[in-house]
Structure 1
Amino acid sequence: MSADPVLARLDADLPQALERLMTFLAIPSISTDPAYAADCDRAADWLVADLKALGATAEKRATPGHPMVVGHIGEGAPHLLFYGHYDVQPADPPELWHRDPFDPAVEDTPAGRVIRGRGAADDKGQLMTFVEACRAWIAEHGALPCRITFFFEGEEESGSPSLVPFLRENADELAADLALVCDTGMYDRKTPSIVTQLRGMLREEVVLRGASRDLHSGLYGGLAVNPIHVLSRVLADLHDDTGRVTLEGFYDGVAETPPEVRAQWDALAFDAEGFLGRVGLSHGAGERDRTALERLWARPTAEVNGIEGGYTGAGFKTVLPAEARAKVSFRLVGEQDPEAIHRAFVDHVERRLPPDVTAEFPMGDGAPATQMDVSRPAFEAARAALSAEWETEAVFAGVGGSIPVAGYFQSVLGTEPMLIGFGRDDDALHSPNEKYDLESFHKGARSWVRILEALTRG
């Protein structure tokens, strides 16, 4: 079954596809606010009805929170699981929006036409690119080229509390050959990407205690230990002079970026100076012997996120504080073990404690990184399909943050995820005036048609 007539159908039916998306966007499915529970339910019902219109068997599945939507259609190999989420962020503060966030519209802007409204990019517009691709394929060929399971969540924006239990309870039904996840973006306006690695994270808090109470610095200064001094040394020692993290065994499980992926990244000619300049910086930090994109996507980090101790109010109070505390996060890559790094951090702190200072660690929770197997033929096939649609070489990209669902598909379902989305850096996710470029919506749907053809060819 050829993609060409399906692509032509998508082009011709774009007005109707936009009309469906506007109806979907108008539902204020805010998962974090109980006042919108009925709207979340309504959004799930809308999706069930739309999937049934495609000919899928679809239903709303109850959870302790907002419902899941599961649909099945097609037959044959491969079996693809497509994931998206129908819930959205709150629209606060409403006065900063140029229009009602739940009265979506297509607007003309200096950069082109955009779809404006809460959820346009995160994730309703992205979700519907795949649904519209399936709709056009069925309209032209009467059936899809393979078996597809749709899986839409309603709690992604509120921490996904029901996700893992639901996956475990329905693993036999949801396990597939490949999981497609749409909640990502382009490398830049013209360069599509497949996210193939996501950093994990370990969160730590350390509290150092010295004297039984805050001390007068004139009476005790110079004799009594100051926990802030100790904490400062502990934190400074997390890195050496080259930017490497000094925790024992920290780099265990950190693999080198494959040469072919490194070549793709080098070809992007990433402008680190411009990237930093947009936030008022001019010099890069971190590991000096690594490129900027490696540091952002493929290397682990240790960052101090907050320090507290002593008197920080207005004026001056001359005390030696009884305690000092800091919050530290570690971004993890490859096979790094969060528990092993937690133990190394505790050891790093305790070996630097002088007499009379004790340490507590109230927090030490984390999740490992997610790495996709790009040697699988499906990844190169999808990359070629994206390159053909956007007429720019697609890249296997990394993401500095985390998308937990991708790791859950691996660990719970045993299904390899493939993350492809068409969002752009200026989409204002979670912010007022969220938008999704009309080009992203249209060419996103066309991209999925090409990917379906590529994954099912031969």
Structure 2
Amino acid sequence: MSDLDRALAAADEGLDKSLERLFALLKIPSISTDPAYKHGCREAADWLKRDLAALGFQAALRETPGHPVVLASQPKPSAPHVLFYGHYDVQPVDPLEKWATPPFEPRIVTAKDGRKVIVARGASDDKGQVMTFVEACRCWKAATGELPVGVTLLIEGEEESGSFNLPGFLEEAKDELAADVALVCDTAMWGEGRPAITSALRGMVYEEITVRAADRDLHSGLYGGAARNPLHVVASIVAALHGPEGKVTLPGFYDGVPETPEEVREQWRGLGLDADSFLGPIGLAIPAGEPDRMVIEQIQSRPTCDVNGLWGGYTGAGAKTVIPSEAHAKVSFRLVGDQDPAQVRQAFRAFVRERLPADCAVEFEGHKGSRAIRLPFDSPTLAKARTALAEEWGAEPVTIGSGGSIPVVGDFKRLLGLDTLLVGFALDDDRIHSPNEKYDLESFRKGTRSWIRILAALAA
């Protein structure tokens, strides 16, 4: 048997013990956002530190102004080094009465379709996912006495409450976090039995505008037709943000937007994600984005502009004939490729000012902006992970983008200069953040085996 085969055999033979360790971690109520569970967060961190130390890692709890970070390292000279990220904190369990079983009493149950699933808070997000990687390391040690690559694990306790202290920790510890690539297991598969690699995350620009006209609210019967209405002004501005074909009209907005390689587009075409399957379940039928783009492109690889809020004047019950003195809008932009958040913000503000009547004033409130993150489609790391996942699952993994953002991935790039490989084994029906959260037993078993294969591939 090869070393890889011995490690895979160790995973299968040790599954029951692996589940015992996962259940021990799931029993700890590590709710980071609730101060009442501060002790639970420290208990979970300490449990992980002890478990990793038993595997031969140099493991420690590193204090932050909030919950501690678990940092564990096991270098291997002359081999690649990976940085694995996960989190041990979980979401609150409310509403408790919606849980079929107590949320911190993990158990395996049989779902209606016959699947065996692990039910507990944190089973999928993110304790179960973290432990697939830890167990993969354990299997390599059991089979060969060593890891195929150098490994550092960074497991934080504040992801579910904003990760406010993580950037500062990364800055302070960046020398200890040196690696060739970062690995994150906090994402999902494309579907049951079909693995996925998230290779891109969209960036973000978020702006709030306030347009003011008269010095007070006005009676629309007395002033209507003569006085400027800020709601009209804001409505006309946000309406002008899109052209008739769905494109964003900001000058220079598409600078830095790359085209997706045709071989990737061809793979996406075969996934069956069309308007009926994606929009139908939410009561819609017609895509609102660029008409020459597939739905999957619209939500993954193309930039967007959305109005997230629009308000002003009287919004209570009944009628009040008023021209408001001010109106507001919240607008977000999802960015891709090399789009510059600062440039997009500047273009938006210039766009608003150009359309502002002379007797109106505008104020801007800018929220955090972030660049898009992408792993090059021709990355050797991506290719190795794709091969490893295909060998384990017997299905070609889908290389996808994410419409959302995972801030730590941007922090890894900005502070550590690391590209990130995002591989997760969650499913869409895992009910993360909801009562009766679950993680498929097969996700845990084959997730562990997948990481065993990926570590071997990265060592090659």
TM-score (norm 1): 0.98
Structure 1 residue 121: Cα displacement: 0.7
**Structure 2 CA distance, aligned partners of 1:67 and 1:152?**
9
**Structure 1 CA distance, aligned partners of 2:376 and 2:412?**
14
Residue of structure 2 equivalent to 1:16: 17
Residue of structure 1 equivalent to 2:339: 336
Residue of structure 1 equivalent to 2:89: 87
State the AA in 2 paired with 1:434. Answer: E
SS in 2 for 1:87: coil
SS in 2 for 1:365: coil
**Structure 2 CA distance, aligned partners of 1:8 and 1:21?**
19
**Structure 2 CA distance, aligned partners of 1:82 and 1:320?**
56
Q: How many residues align?
A: 457
**Structure 1 CA distance, aligned partners of 2:358 and 2:402?**
42
**Structure 1 CA distance, aligned partners of 2:33 and 2:231?**
38
Structure 1 residue 119: Cα displacement: 0.7
Give yes or no for the alignment of 1:107 onto 2:74: no
What are the residue-to-residue correspondences of 1:260-409 with 2, within 5 Å?
260-409=263-412
State the AA in 2 paired with 1:92. Answer: D
State the AA in 2 paired with 1:67. Answer: P
SS in 1 for 2:3: coil
Q: Is the 8 A contact 1:197 1:369 kept in 2?
A: yes
**Structure 1 CA distance, aligned partners of 2:41 and 2:159?**
12
SS in 1 for 2:418: coil
**Structure 1 CA distance, aligned partners of 2:368 and 2:43?**
35
Identity of aligned residues (%): 56
Structure 1 residue 364: Cα displacement: 4.1
Structure 1 unaligned blocks of 5 or more: none
State the AA in 1 paired with 2:167. Answer: V
**Structure 2 CA distance, aligned partners of 1:264 and 1:135?**
35
**Structure 1 CA distance, aligned partners of 2:30 and 2:433?**
14
Mean Cα displacement is larger for which, 117-126 or 275-284? Answer: 275-284
Residue of structure 2 equivalent to 1:207: 210
Structure 2 unaligned blocks of 5 or more: none
What are the residue-to-residue correspondences of 1:212-291 with 2, within 5 Å?
212-291=215-294
SS in 1 for 2:424: coil
**Structure 1 CA distance, aligned partners of 2:121 and 2:446?**
21
Q: Is the 8 A contact 1:175 1:414 kept in 2?
A: no
Q: After superposition, what is the alpha-carbon deviation per residue over 1:246-283, rounded to whole angstroms, capped at 9, x for unaligned? A: 01111111111122322222232323311111111111
**Structure 2 CA distance, aligned partners of 1:128 and 1:224?**
63
State the AA in 1 paired with 2:289. Answer: G
**Structure 2 CA distance, aligned partners of 1:160 and 1:171?**
17
Structure 1 residue 442: Cα displacement: 0.7
SS in 2 for 1:212: coil
Structure 1 residue 311: Cα displacement: 0.9
State the AA in 2 paired with 1:319. Answer: V
Structure 1 residue 74: Cα displacement: 4.6
**Structure 2 CA distance, aligned partners of 1:58 and 1:380?**
31
State the AA in 2 paired with 1:162. Answer: N
Q: Is the 8 A contact 1:81 1:178 kept in 2?
A: yes
CA RMSD of superposed structures (Å): 1.2
SS in 1 for 2:135: helix
Residue of structure 2 equivalent to 1:197: 200
**Structure 2 CA distance, aligned partners of 1:173 and 1:258?**
36
**Structure 2 CA distance, aligned partners of 1:104 and 1:120?**
8
**Structure 2 CA distance, aligned partners of 1:366 and 1:424?**
29
Choose the corresponding residue for 2:416, options 413, 416, 426: 413
**Structure 2 CA distance, aligned partners of 1:27 and 1:3?**
33
Q: After superposition, what is the alpha-carbon deviation per residue over 1:314-370, rounded to whole angstroms, capped at 9, x for unaligned? A: 111111111110111111111111111111111111111123111111234311111
Structure 1 residue 222: Cα displacement: 1.3
**Structure 1 CA distance, aligned partners of 2:97 and 2:255?**
49
Q: Is the 8 A contact 1:74 1:143 kept in 2?
A: no
Distance 1:87 1:364, change over 3 A: closer
**Structure 2 CA distance, aligned partners of 1:231 and 1:161?**
33
